[in-house]
Amino acid sequence: MKKKAIIITGANGNVGAYFARKFLESGQNLILLIHKNEQRLQDIQQEFAENFRIIKVDLTDLTSLQNKFSKVIKETGWQPDRLIHTATKRSHDFKPLADTDPELWQKIINMNLVSTFNILKCAIPFFRKNNYGKIVLFGSNVTRIGLPKGSAYSASKAGIANIGRTLATEEAASNIIINTVSPGPIKIDDSQFSESYRKFREKYYNKKIREIPLKRCASFEDIFGLCRFLLSEENSYITGEEFFITGGKI
Ligand SMILES: NC(=O)c1ccc[n+]([C@@H]2O[C@H](COP(=O)([O-])OP(=O)(O)OC[C@H]3O[C@@H](n4cnc5c(N)ncnc54)[C@H](OP(=O)(O)O)[C@@H]3O)[C@@H](O)[C@H]2O)c1
């Protein structure tokens, strides 16, 4: 029998790297998709070398993604049956829509929506072949509250949640289950951000925490617990939903 594998995009990101370690510790095989950076994955390289493969790819390039992905499947003989899509491009100019550079707007939309199309286009044929698949996409609480000075990000995240709803119907006959997880602020290590982005986040999140009934940001554990369940055998009926992890904040 072929070994099952989980695909994680944005695997060097805050959430992706945490998820990679947790799933490796529980004995899963992983196909980790990264973009430019891989520093967060260094500590798992020695420990779990046999259990994961890294694909370095720009998710907006479908041909490159499909070629590199097929190569890994051929080499490992693994059967991918779950996908966690965390990769994202954030805003970094923080301007109202009317003042936003059209090229930057398009870049964010392109990365967040086209990459979602591409990874699903790449993974779903494998899932269909085995009449089994579980998918978690990442939205954000901004899909329901908007994001002043972040129109491209908020529009693209809402688009991702709606791709999830659509695919839940399209792929139900292939026993593919898909949901979107939409967190509010997550407590992350922000040391890699530029000074201006760190200041923006600090100001934004200090205000946000005051509005959160549970008075804290989400932890990685909070996010992981739900995703693990959505991807598990226990979940055979929940599909097409968007789950908000916001400490009670609507
Ligand atoms: N962190 C939060 O507070 C928060 C709140 C709400 C929702 N979310 C959502 O939760 C998810 C995970 O967040 P996070 O904080 O872990 O994000 P993150 O640390 O910014 O990670 C995003 C990852 O996406 C990768 N990426 C960017 N452009 C790419 C491209 N063209 N092709 C392939 N990969 C690309 C980045 O790789 P490189 O660095 O190498 O470019 C990075 O590893 C995201 O979808 C985010 O929108 C996060």
For residue range 58-68, list pLDDT tens digits in order. Answer: 999 999 999 99
Q: pLDDT confidence of 1, banded at 50, 70, 90?
A: confident
Residue nearest to atom 1 of ligand 1 (CA): 186
Residue nearest to atom 15 of ligand 1 (CA): 14
Number of domains in the chain: 1
For residue range 154-182, list pLDDT tens digits in order. Answer: 999 999 999 999 999 999 999 999 999 99
CATH number at residue 62: 3.40.50.720
Does residue 193 fall inside a structural domain?
A: no
Q: pLDDT confidence of 91, banded at 50, 70, 90?
A: confident
Does residue 205 fall inside a structural domain?
A: no
Does residue 203 fall inside a structural domain?
A: no
Does residue 199 fall inside a structural domain?
A: no
pLDDT above 80: residue 192: no
Does residue 160 fall inside a structural domain?
A: yes
Cα(2) to ligand 1 centroid in Å equals 30
pLDDT above 90: residue 93: no
Average pLDDT for 115-141: 98
Does residue 207 fall inside a structural domain?
A: no
pLDDT above 90: residue 84: yes
Does residue 230 fall inside a structural domain?
A: yes
Which ligand 1 atom is at minimum distance from the Cα of 223? 10
Residue range of the domain that includes 231: 4-188+218-245
Q: pLDDT confidence of 198, banded at 50, 70, 90?
A: confident
Lowest mean pLDDT among 9-18, 65-74, 164-173, 182-191: 182-191
Cβ neighbours for 182, distance < 8 A, ≥ 6 positions apart: 138, 139, 140, 141, 143, 144, 157, 161, 242, 243, 244, 245, 246
For the chain, give the mean pLDDT.
95
Does residue 204 fall inside a structural domain?
A: no
The predicted pLDDT at position 186 comes to: 93
Residues with CB under 6 A from ligand 1: 10, 12-16, 34-37, 58-60, 86-89, 111, 115, 138, 140, 183, 185-186, 188
CA–CA distance from 13 to each of 20, 85, 89 (Å)? 10, 11, 11
